[in-house]
Structure 1
Amino acid sequence: MVKKYELSNFGLGTVQFGLDYGFTKRKTQEEVNDILNVAVENDINLIDTAREYGDSEEKIGVFNKEFDNDFVIATKLSLIDDLNNLSYSFLKKHIQQSVNDSLSNLNLDNIPILQLHQVDMELYNNSDFWSCIEDIKQDKLIDNFGVSVYDTDDTQFLLDNHGDIIDFIQIPYNIFDRRFDSIFEQIKINNIDVISRSTFLKGIIPSPVDNIPSELNDIIPYKLKLESASENVGVRVDELATLFVYYNKNISSTIFGVNSPEELKNNIDTIKQFNEDILDEIDFNELSVSEVKLIDPRQWNEF
């Protein structure tokens, strides 16, 4: 029997715990402890991490050892570099090693949510991979399995072929990127919970119009509409973007990365300050961007 979790509407992203991220320097253990203690104090239980996030897992593990918490930790399966040898024995060994390393790093007896963050059809189509995941669940090394996706086509394939094994799907979703609206109902039918990321679309949503790179000029009309809508209801653009995903009934939890305890507190205060009724005053369909190249950062050039 799968042990499902009741997730907090806020989830905490932790890439900055273990890596320099953009203009942000990676956090010290003391800084990580301060942020995680604020999460505990405010009943934020979803913590999203990965082996590829430097020493993020280890820092969370130190916190787990020193402080009481009810965290639901979602970490990611380490990347499978060699896709030419996807036999059952190879996959089982890789997955077990990844899980055991994460358990040791995180100071856990089992992983609440293990996620695949690798969009490769070689894995999606490999029956041995999915058998290994079922075996790892049976061994109680993980409670739930999730897949981090980028677009609806991949998600549809997963629902059609492996919907009975997947417990969580992590998607990009925000005011501009509404692609997943079309399949939320099917995800729900499969009894799969949704975790969202990319609330600010790599910073494009709250960024001043003058800072938008030329290749994304076509998104400016949407930004101007968003700024006007925000002004009309008396909230900042970043606040409206936060409220939009926080109160979406199709999303169990939304992941935010923060750089300090103060920033986390500010995000929490935003939710407490405004009632969800404020969203009824805005026609969000006018803000939905259909051109995928504008809302999928994988298609952007570096800028």
Structure 2
Amino acid sequence: MLMNNFKNSKYDISKFGLGTVQFGLDYGFTKRKTQEEVNSILKTAVDNDITLIDTAREYGDSEEKIGNFIENYKNNFVIATKISLIDDFDNLTYKTLKNNIYASVEESLEKLKLNKIPILQLHQTVDEIYKNIDFWTVINQLKEDKLIDLFGVSVYEISETKFIMNNYTGYIDFFQIPYNIFDRRFDDIQCDLEYNHIGLISRSTFLKGIIPCSICNVPENLKDIKPFKLELSSLADELNVSVAELASAFVYYNNYINSTILGVDSPKELDDNIKIIEKFDKNEFESIDFDKFKINNDYLIDPRKWNDF
């Protein structure tokens, strides 16, 4: 497992991170995991040198189950969690923001059985929050109080990412972005992110399942994605791998993505995802021209815009 030092911090994070929404909630076709199932998946993560564990206050009892594991099993996990969702946007004063955010962090610390949260994230990129200087003042205070080390924002759009980077560079350590073999929008600001020493964690490796699904299962409203899928399938056949394996390796070997979050249903699925990388020769893989798979149609690469999917 490739590792890298994250944001010039003390943390070494793995190129694959583990998503944990399914630990605490039913998620799509995946049923909520028991503590025993969570322990088994996390043991497999330890055995395969996966260090980044991504969770959230909103993921049911995911934090509590992770905390139970941390308390009882040796690990080198770097835990990333998220601030509880803020519902009332009409009264976002410094006081209300501080009360809400500190309460969320303190509850996460209790559930995770930690003294400090290595990585805290904002999961709500709404103007009322990320354009509010009081919000960033609270984040800075969390760092000064040694309750968190690093802070990041989960984003969808280049515009919001640029705004935060240009206005709050001193507060932000990384962005979590949608990124995959078709969705390459964030390539355009790679240099700016590197210049500002801002890290990247990616999600949406399979674009909500559209990348690895068969052509016949592509919805009619996404028919324009079929030529890209056919060409990608042809490359996968040439390399003697599956499309899903190729999509995973693409983000894994990306030089400016620090880590990619993968959600799994079982220890075997996690183990299989890790073994995918063994199928590729790194030098040969990096010589492939992937630019022809880049899709510039925002509708096709943003699941929020899909209708009746």
- Fold agreement, TM-score > 0.5: yes
The 5 A counterparts of 1:1-303 are 3-280=9-286, 282-303=288-309
TM-score, scaled to structure 2: 0.96
Deviations 1:56-89 (A, max 9, x none): 1111011111111111000000111101111111
Shift of 1:232: 1.2
Deviations 1:190-233 (A, max 9, x none): 11111000000001000001011111111011000100111112
TM-score, scaled to structure 1: 0.97
**SS at 1:11 equivalent:** strand
Q: Distance in 1 between matches of 2:248 and 2:81?
A: 23
Q: Distance in 2 between matches of 1:278 and 1:167?
A: 32
Q: Distance in 1 between matches of 2:220 and 2:65?
A: 39
Shift of 1:4: 4.6
Q: Distance in 1 between matches of 2:303 and 2:108?
A: 28
Shift of 1:188: 1.0
Aligned CA distance change for structure 1 residues 148 and 4 (closer, same or farther; 3 Å)? farther
Q: Distance in 2 between matches of 1:271 and 1:280?
A: 13
Shift of 1:142: 0.4
Q: Which amino acid aligns with 1:178?
A: R
Shift of 1:242: 0.6
Shift of 1:235: 1.3
Q: Which amino acid aligns with 1:292?
A: D
**SS at 1:115 equivalent:** strand
Q: Distance in 2 between matches of 1:4 and 1:115?
A: 18
Q: Distance in 1 between matches of 2:209 and 2:287?
A: 24
Return structure 1 stretches of 4+ with deviation > 3 angstroms.
1-4
Q: Distance in 2 between matches of 1:13 and 1:109?
A: 22
In structure 1, list runs of 5 or more residues that go unmatched: none
Deviations 1:235-293 (A, max 9, x none): 11011001100000001101100100001110111112322233245321111010001
Q: Distance in 2 between matches of 1:302 and 1:93?
A: 39
**SS at 1:7 equivalent:** strand
